[in-house]
């Protein structure tokens, strides 16, 4: 079933078109093939890996709970045969794993690389999607799966003169595949999120001079990267069933127990002792072993924020620089960052910190960046300015649904969706890690598997019931938006400007874009499916042949 079903003129016909060959799209392809469906995947890159194919900047590593649990769980054999070497795997190690997955499951034969999907339109009469690509290939499919990546559309700063800059310029999310040399060069980095904080220490080691252009000071925690020994791997393999079950049950999709105490139940001395112990140990475990009220109580939050600010003052020798590095938002309400020598980097003689809040960028020239207080001559500009996250890639694709309505029109004021998976007016279109899903707040490979498994069952349901199309009702979208907001509003997250709220992209509608219920989400979507897909509207198949998936 994996060849085009039929080819009419220049249009290839499939059961499913998947856009994106990253972690989500790769699993989608595997799962759909297992279901016996014909599938075509398109990706603009020249190989698999998605975010891990693009983000090759110096210092790029897993900065979540890490290996060996940032991985697929669908294949026991895959787990048994792959060796992870470090807890915070380098980009190249994660990419090697994904390449291995592609080889092992022979994925590439159904993926067309270096092919950008330029348009996707729903044909109401045929109940099918048609996609147009920049290689001239056109494909039609009953279902469209958007596995576009939550962090894949680069956020390019619009600063006067930036296009006049004549030196080398790189965005961390679109890093060249050839080595970039910083030796003897004057480098400026804009951005101090995860990508900036991972790359700045590495680039500073090589550059003649580095200017860090910081708009928002950040909390960063020691990455605590450590080797994974053969014994660790053997343990993980021997206990894989239990680990997998724990991952499914855990709020974030990782096999860890959460701390049961609240910060305010402890004395200041006890809190300090716990923070110190976690700081010394390092790793994302910091946030999991932490008190359970840091993200909900201002007072608890302040106790950790003060602790990190004291650490920054301890590490950074120049008090004026240390003050510029003091974050002033609630800790953890921007994506927590793991670093390896970030604050220490400001003790180097070749590094200058510019606080853009007091000394904003006025313009770029061909050879420099000019801030209010002076000119900084540079040879290389690194844009660690992040992404139009979560919704940005869907908006860039801008599919056209019923009546030719574009997603940009539909999402003008808010990212209307149901379950983070579907959109009213866009039948038979499914998003993986879309707005309104746990997405970036959950172990992403596992989340992709669980969403895709749900989508597969939904497709089966349509086939069994001889239905032609599924989409949510506008009312269920409204209720879902309220549920997402209600959960987020219990926390401090929506009170800080971040890419989670859309605040990093000028003009983007504000709103907290992720479902913070974690694993509850998967129970929720499964329960709704069991209730005959509550909240959805179905359409009979217009032609009997089209129910054959």
**Residues of this chain that bind ligand N01 (CB under 6 A):** 60-64, 151, 155, 157, 172, 190-196, 198, 215-216, 335, 356, 384-387, 440, 499, 504
Question: Would you say 115 or 198 has its CB closer to ligand N01?
Answer: 198
Q: Min. distance of Cβ 466 from ligand N01 in angstroms? A: 42
Q: Identify which of residues 21 and 338 has a Cβ nearer to ligand N01 in the complex.
A: 338
Quote the least distance from Cβ 157 to ligand N01, whole Å. Answer: 3
Q: How far is the CB of 329 from ligand N01 (least distance, A)?
A: 9
Q: Using CA atoms, how far apart are residues 458 and 428, in angstroms rounded to an integer?
A: 10
Least distance CB 21 / ligand N01 (angstroms): 18
**77 vs 54: CA distance, rounded Å:** 28
For the residues of 185-253, what is the DSSP string, one character each? -EEEEE--SHHHHHHHHHHHHHBSEEEEEESS---EEE----BPPHHHHHHHHHTHHHHHHHHHHSTTS
Residue nearer to ligand N01 on the CB measure, 62 or 452: 62
Distance, CA of 99 to chain centre: 19
Q: How far is the CB of 26 from ligand N01 (least distance, A)?
A: 17
Considering the complex, state which of residue 196 and residue 445 has its C-beta at the smaller distance from ligand N01. Answer: 196
- State phi, psi for 172 to the nearest 5 degrees: -60, -30
Residue 39 or 48: the one with the smaller Cβ distance to ligand N01 is 48
Whole-number minimum distance, CB 147 to ligand N01, in Å?
17
**Distance between CA atoms of residues 414 and 393, nearest Å:** 15
Q: Which residues contact 320 (CB under 8 A, 6 or more apart)?
A: none
CB of residue 508 to ligand N01, shortest distance in Å: 12
Question: CA nearest 256: which of 273, 278, 227?
Answer: 278
Is residue 265 classed as helix, strand or coil in its secondary structure?
A: helix
Mark 339-348 as b/e (b = at least 16 C-beta within 10 Å): bbbbbebbee
Determine the Cα–Cα distance for residues 243 and 79; give it in Å rounded to an integer.
Answer: 11
> Residue 85 or residue 402: which is nearer to ligand N01 going by CB?
85
Q: Read off φ and ψ for residue 48, nearest 5 degrees.
A: -70, 170
In whole angstroms, the minimum distance from the beta carbon of 433 to ligand N01 comes to 12
Q: How far is the CB of 216 from ligand N01 (least distance, A)?
A: 3
DSSP 164: G
Q: Minimum CB separation from ligand N01 for residue 45, in Å?
A: 17
What pairing do the DSSP bridges indicate for beta strands 7-8 and 11-19?
antiparallel
Angle between helices 444-464 and 23-34 (to 10 degrees): 30
d(CA 328, CA 305) in angstroms, rounded, equals 8
DSSP for 473-502?
Answer: -HHHHHHHHHHHHHHHHTSSGGGS-STTTT
Q: Computed from CA positions of residues 388, 390, 392, 393, in that sequence, does the dihedral angle turn out positive or negative?
A: positive
Rounded to whole angstroms, the Cα distance separating 256 from 137 reads 46
How far apart are CB 206 and ligand N01 at their closest, in Å? 20
Distance from C-alpha of 382 to C-alpha of 178, rounded to nearest angstrom = 15
Query: Given the complex with ligand N01, which of 345 and 422 has the nearer CB atom?
Result: 345
Tell me the CA distances in angstroms from 439 to 79, 88, 271, 450, one per residue in order. 23, 20, 31, 11
Of 194 and 519, the one with the shorter C-beta distance to ligand N01 is 194
Does the bond joining 68 to the residue before it have cis omega, within 30 degrees of 0? yes
Report the residue number, 440 or 462, with the smaller CB distance to ligand N01: 440
What is the nearest approach in angstroms of ligand N01 to the Cβ of residue 276?
A: 25
Length of the chain: 549
Nearer CB in complex with ligand N01: 144/432? 432
Question: Which residue of the chain is nearest ligand N01 when measured via CB?
Answer: 193
**3-class state of residue 7 by DSSP:** strand
Instruction: CB nearer to ligand N01: give 130 or 214.
Output: 214
> In this structure, what DSSP letter does residue 403 have?
G
Which residue's CB is nearer to ligand N01, number 194 or number 451?
Answer: 194
In angstroms, rounded to a whole number, what is the distance separating the alpha carbons of residues 329 and 336?
Answer: 12
Between residues 2 and 496, which has the closer beta carbon with respect to ligand N01?
496
* Distance in Å, CB of 64 to ligand N01, minimum: 6
Which of 64, 468 has the CB closer to ligand N01?
A: 64
What is the residue-wise DSSP string for 510-522?
P---S-TTTTHHH
Q: How far is the CB of 507 from ligand N01 (least distance, A)?
A: 13
């Amino acid at each position: 079933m994996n060849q085009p079903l039929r080819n009419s003129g220049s249009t290839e016909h499939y059961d499913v078109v998947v856009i994106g060959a990253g972690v989500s799209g790769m699993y989608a392809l595997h799962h759909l093939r297992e279901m016996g469906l014909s599938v075509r995947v398109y990706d603009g890159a020249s190989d698999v890996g998605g975010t891990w194919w693009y983000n090759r900047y110096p210092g790029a590593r897993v900065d979540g709970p890490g290996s060996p649990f940032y991985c697929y769980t669908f294949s026991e054999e895959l787990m048994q045969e792959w060796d992870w070497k470090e807890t915070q795997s380098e980009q190249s190690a994660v990419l090697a794993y994904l390449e291995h997955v592609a080889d092992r499951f022979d994925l590439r034969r159904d993926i067309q690389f270096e092919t950008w999907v330029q348009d996707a339109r729903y044909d109401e009469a045929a109940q099918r999607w048609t996609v147009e690509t920049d290689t001239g290939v056109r494909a039609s499919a009953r279902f469209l799966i958007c596995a576009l990546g939550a962090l894949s559309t680069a956020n390019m700063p619009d600063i006067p003169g930036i296009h006049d800059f004549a030196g080398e310029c790189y965005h961390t999310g679109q890093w060249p595949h050839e080595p970039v040399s910083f030796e003897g060069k004057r480098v400026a980095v804009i951005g101090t999120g995860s990508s900036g904080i991972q790359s700045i220490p590495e680039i500073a080691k090589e550059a003649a001079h580095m200017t860090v252009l910081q708009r928002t000071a950040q909390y960063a925690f020691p990455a605590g990267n450590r080797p994974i020994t053969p014994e660790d791997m053997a343990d993980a393999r021997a206990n894989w069933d239990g680990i997998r079950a724990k991952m499914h049950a855990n709020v974030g999709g990782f096999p860890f127990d959460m701390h049961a105490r609240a910060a305010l139940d402890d004395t200041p001395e006890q809190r300090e002792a716990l923070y110190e112990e976690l700081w010394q140990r390092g790793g994302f475990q910091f946030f999991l072993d932490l008190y359970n009220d840091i993200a909900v109580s201002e007072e608890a939050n302040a106790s950790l924020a003060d602790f990190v600010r004291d650490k920054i003052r301890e590490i950074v020798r120049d008090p004026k620089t240390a003050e510029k590095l003091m974050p002033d938002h609630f800790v953890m309400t921007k994506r927590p960052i793991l670093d390896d020598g970030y604050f220490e980097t400001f003790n180097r003689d070749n590094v200058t910190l510019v606080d853009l809040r007091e000394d904003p960028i006025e313009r770029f020239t061909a050879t420099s960046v000019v801030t209010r207080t002076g000119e900084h001559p540079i040879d290389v500009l690194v844009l660690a300015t992040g992404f139009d996250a979560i919704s940005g890639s869907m908006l860039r694709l801008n599919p056209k649904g019923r009546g030719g309505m574009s997603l940009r029109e539909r999402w003008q004021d808010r990212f209307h969706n149901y379950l983070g998976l579907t959109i009213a007016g866009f039948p038979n279109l499914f998003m993986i890690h879309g707005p309104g899903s746990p997405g970036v707040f959950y172990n992403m490979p596992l989340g992709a598997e669980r969403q895709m498994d749900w989508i597969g069952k939904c497709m089966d349901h349509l086939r069994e019931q001889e239905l032609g199309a599924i989409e949510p009702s506008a009312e269920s979208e409204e209720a879902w938006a309220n549920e997402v907001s209600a959960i987020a509003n219990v926390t401090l997250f929506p009170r800080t400007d971040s890419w989670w709220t859309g605040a990093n992209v000028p003009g983007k509608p504000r709103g907290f874009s992720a479902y913070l219920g974690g694993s509850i989400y998967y129970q929720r979507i499964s329960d709704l499916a069991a209730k005959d897909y509550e909240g959805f509207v179905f359409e009979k198949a217009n032609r009997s042949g089209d129910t054959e998936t």
